[in-house]
Amino acid sequence: MRLAATVFFVTLAVTPAHAVSGQAPPASGFAARPIVMLIDNRGDLCTATAVARDLVLTAAHCVVIPATYRVRVFQNAAMVEVDKIRRHPGFNMANYKASRATADVALVKLKGPLPDIVMPAALAAPRRVEVGETLTIAGFGVTQAGTAHGLGQPRMASLVVTGKPGSLQIRLQDPETKNERPGLGGCTGDSGAPAFDGAGTSDSGNDTGKIIGVVSWSTAPKSEEGCGGLTGLTPLLNYRDWIVTTAAALGSPLAP
């Protein structure tokens, strides 16, 4: 399976188009209901999140090359054709390839509604995250870098914010391995995957995952190339208004 690119916007050996590596559990509850596979005629796969019945959110680098795209629903293998693609106007592929910050978010309008088994997720309230917070990612990527193991199977992982999070980038790590040895994190197939605000459960015990960022890149431990070290997010803080406005213009009001 081909990757969309080889570098991102940090000075690290990063890997695009990611997945949940390691011994991550199957995605369930709030993390499983809205995610779908975004595939193209070249055989590439990214993860996307339903934000309306006929609209999904993903990474801009997943839809930058002209191709025929479709969405696949893992629960029943239904396929839905893509109608329109809207990359954020601030996304710059040259910056992306040169490991500089860019607006790595896109909306994909479908030709028809997703099956009822897919439940759109809401966007989180705009805010900056802090070091030590837990965010949950969910995607369809491989469980081991350089292989096809686990590709297309939904998995989830709760990761902790590390480094210096800001409005352009958030770094996550496995709280058990702390980027020192292989752990949970994004890997091939998870580009575009959602990062949900918090662990996804409210004080009342209800599933309440809301999207706060999109998976953009990953590294192996100690910033080597691969997976299982750091997972990089593009936070939605700067792009939330564009998502809301563009969804409305496409005739797909967002989930409340």
Q: What is the CATH number of the domain that holds 96?
A: 2.40.10.10
Considering the domain boundaries, does residue 137 fall inside one? no
Which band of pLDDT confidence, cut at 50, 70 and 90, is reported for residue 138? Answer: very high
- Give the structural domain span for 55: 35-120+239-249
- Does residue 153 fall inside a structural domain? no
Q: Is residue 244 assigned to a domain?
A: yes
Percent of the chain residues topping a pLDDT of 90: 68
Whether residue 115 has pLDDT greater than 90: yes
Average pLDDT over residues 21-40: 86
pLDDT in the model for residue 225 = 87
Higher pLDDT, 208 or 210: 210
Task: Please tell me the predicted confidence (pLDDT) of residue 207.
Answer: 53
Inside any domain, residue 41 = yes
Q: Is residue 73, in this structure, part of any structural domain at all?
A: yes
Would you say residue 92 lies in a domain? Answer: yes
Q: Tell me the two tokens of residue 193.
A: 């995957």
> What is the sign of the dihedral through the CA atoms of 157, 158, 163 and 166?
positive
Beta bridge partners of 185: 21
Q: How many CB atoms are closer than 10 A to CB 128?
A: 10
Q: Pull the structure tokens for residue 200.
A: 């996804």
Number of folded domains in the chain?
Answer: 1
**This prediction's pTM:** 0.89
- The 3-state secondary structure of the chain reads CCCCCCCCCCCCCCECCCCCECCCCECCHHHCCCEEEEEECCCCEEEEEEEECCEEEECHHHHCCCCCEEEECCCCCCEEEEEEEEECCCCCHHHHHCCCCCCCCEEEEECCCCCCCCCCCCECCCCCCCCCCEEEEEECCCCCCCCCCCCCCCEEEEEEEECCCCCCCEEEECCCCCCCCCCCECCCCCCCCEEECCCCECCCCCECCCEEEEEEEECEHHHECCCCCEEEEEECCCCHHHHHHHHHHCCCCCCC
Give the model confidence (pLDDT) of 153-177 as tens digits: 899 999 999 999 999 999 999 999 9
Cα–Cα distance between 191 and 44 in angstroms, integer? Answer: 11
Residue 113: which of 173, 206, 50 has the closest Cα?
50
In a domain, 27, yes or no: no
pLDDT at 16: 46
Q: Please indicate, yes or no, if residue 93 is contained in any of the structural domains.
A: yes
Residues 186, 230: contact at Cβ < 8 Å? Answer: no
